[in-house]
Structure 1
Amino acid sequence: MTPTGDELLAMLSALANPLRLRIVAQLAGGRDYVSHLAREIGISRPLLHMHLQRLEAAGLIVGSLELSDDGKAMKYYEVVDFDLHLTASALAEAVRTLPPTDQEKP
């Protein structure tokens, strides 16, 4: 299914950051929990949380809260299976779903 204009903008915006690209690449190898992911990427957990929220809002990853064997709550993230093909016709189709700009309004 071709994403709408708003969905495409959210995805491209989320992926337009080198750290978020690294996060998606890391999660492409399998789901991971926040502390381990922060160590692997080399950033603080608060900064990671900000990027994870952006990726999750764009529909590229999904998080789930689980209990470890010792009862500790752990947040795991994994990549949502997405297949993004950017072609001129796909972009044109997505643009048709965007609301009109001020210049396009009658």
Structure 2
Amino acid sequence: METSDLTGDELLQVLSTLASPHRMRVLAALVEGRAYVSQLARHLGISRALLQVHLRKLEKAGLVTAQLELSDEGKALKFYEAAPFVLHLTPGSIATAAATLTDPAADHGAAPKGSE
């Protein structure tokens, strides 16, 4: 994914997803390599439930990918990894994306300040 490939709505989704320190930490941990939820939760020191909320948002924004695999013991494990992306923001790229917004007045799901 590259900035030039994103619509205004998609760019807003990516930027609002990255605006969370928790999600930035999750993404940073996945740069080290793919991991399943329990591994990642232990590594980050957060609950699996909270981690899954953040992983779903990262996956929806296209910043991580997931793959379900079976362990040797037959247990299903969902592995996550960072998706390749490049965000190069310039006033021009923002203007181009802004021209494609479906509702320029909409907040597009950005969380209220202090809620993350």
- Among the aligned pairs, what percent are the same residue? 55
Residue equivalent to 2:89: 86
Residue equivalent to 1:26: 29
1:46 and 2:49 are equivalent in the alignment: yes
Q: Confirm or deny: 8 A CA contact 2:67 2:80 kept in the other structure.
A: yes
Instruction: State the SS of the aligned residue for 2:93.
Output: helix
TM-score (norm 1): 0.92
Query: Equivalents in 2 of 1:70, 1:47: separation in Å?
Result: 26
Structure 2: 5+ residue stretches without partners = 106-116
1:98 and 2:104 are equivalent in the alignment: no
**Structure number with bigger Rg:** 1
Deviation at 1:29, TM superposition (A): 1.2
1:9 and 2:12 are equivalent in the alignment: yes
Alignment of 1:57-72 (within 5 A): 57-72=60-75
Corresponding letter in the other structure for 2:49: P
Corresponding letter in the other structure for 1:40: H
Corresponding letter in the other structure for 2:66: G
- Ranges of 4+ aligned residues in structure 1 off by more than 4 Å: none
Paired residues, what number?
A: 102
TM-score (norm 2): 0.84
Corresponding letter in the other structure for 1:80: A
